[in-house]
Structure 1
Amino acid sequence: MSSYRAADSKREEFRRYLEKSGVLDALTKVLVGLYEETEKPSNALDFLKSQLSAGGPEGAELEALRREHSELQRICESLREEKRELQLKLAQYESVSEEGREE
């Protein structure tokens, strides 16, 4: 009997979590939207996925973000290469400086 209460308590806790985080509202809104569709989509799961991800970036915005990401990756690699070159120069100057001290 106590295991039943523990499971019920966990279920209620999880329900409150879903409610508090807005998951229940989002799911309810999407399911109501599906219910109200005059022509039901052939794949209800794809409909749910597309509706739940509707807040994400759209096609043009997504493409702009991809271009920006590529450009930032290119800049980052360029900076890494510059860092390597500067570290080599520093190592050369340090070795020359050490040779001067030894003499």
Structure 2
Amino acid sequence: MKQEKCCSNCQRGTSMHLTKDILCKYRGIVTPDYICFKYKSSADLPQVQQPSYKCAHCEYFLVELDSENQNLGKCKLFSARDFDGNTRNACSKFSRKMFIEEVS
């Protein structure tokens, strides 16, 4: 079964879970069924270039504030214990963190 081209499965889009919209790197906020000429499916990438996400890259990973190690924290969904987020692979509920750059 061939996957339909749309922003909901584009490599360059990030899902916004509150509104189900997609944050596109090029177009801004778009609907999940939108498609532009910059569409790139994750299957188009060679296996070597596909990122291997860890728990620390997930929006549900909560960093422990008292710790000196920035990778130590817990999963908001599944874990009650602290663990190193760079040692565990991302789970099926993974959602990339959106980083906000500070303007100086």
Q: TM-score, normalised by structure 1?
A: 0.18
Rg larger in 1 or in 2? 1
Q: TM-score, normalised by structure 2?
A: 0.18
Q: Which has the higher helix share?
A: 1
